[in-house]
């Protein structure tokens, strides 16, 4: 709820901030398919999200210089500023979450979450699912 409140202040919808973070790391841009792969969702799922981000001038699409059949997605200056702001927001919410936790308690919680992640990964592998945690 805290993250949603912060995102709402800057005009982002839930689920859009990962797009910003991924595109910030890939300054050469990504195709919609590549972006969907990074987010572990279907390309069709991201279509509406990208249209909304584009209409808000957060992203722009340009043809790939090598393969004109591919359109690459990039952050605009506004999108880059939003990504930076969301990084700050994540740090702020993290501080709120861990206030009154000792360093040892934080380390223990991290270890427990990593153990849970590993358990789920193992369960996926045993069941034959290709999705990763």
Question: Could you tell me the CATH number of the domain that includes residue 56?
Answer: 1.10.10.10
Quote the pTM value.
0.78
Q: What is the rounded radius of gyration, in angstroms, for the C-alpha atoms of the chain?
A: 18
- Based on the domain organization, do 95 and 39 belong to the same domain? yes
Q: How many CB atoms lie within 10 A of CB 81?
A: 14
Same domain, 46 and 89: yes
Q: What is the pLDDT of residue 79?
A: 96
What's the domain range around 132?
A: 101-133
Q: pLDDT tens digits for 5-29?
A: 888 888 888 889 999 999 999 999 9
For 31, phi then psi, to 5°, come to -75, 165
Q: Give the pLDDT score at 131.
A: 53
Say if CB 54 and CB 61 are below 8 A apart: yes
Residue 131 Cα to chain centre, angstroms = 16
Predicted confidence at residue 43, as pLDDT, reads: 86
Q: Which residues pair with 72 in a beta bridge?
A: 31, 62
Burial degree of 120 (CB within 10 A; 0-12, 13-18, 19+): middle
Regions of the chain where pLDDT drops below 70: 129-133
At 56 the pLDDT is 94
């Amino acid at each position: 709820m805290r993250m949603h409140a912060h995102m709402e202040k800057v005009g982002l919808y839930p689920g859009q901030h990962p797009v910003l973070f991924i595109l910030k790391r890939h300054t050469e841009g990504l195709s919609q398919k590549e972006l969907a792969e990074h987010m572990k969702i279907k390309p069709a799922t991201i279509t509406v999200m990208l249209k909304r981000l584009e209409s808000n001038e957060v992203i722009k699409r340009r043809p790939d210089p090598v393969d004109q059949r591919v359109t690459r997605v990039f952050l605009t200056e506004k999108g880059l500023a939003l990504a930076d702001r969301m990084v700050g927001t994540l740090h702020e919410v993290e501080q709120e979450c861990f206030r009154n936790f000792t360093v040892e308690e934080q380390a223990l919680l991290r270890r427990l979450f990593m153990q849970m992640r590993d358990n789920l990964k193992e369960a996926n592998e045993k069941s034959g699912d290709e999705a990763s945690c």
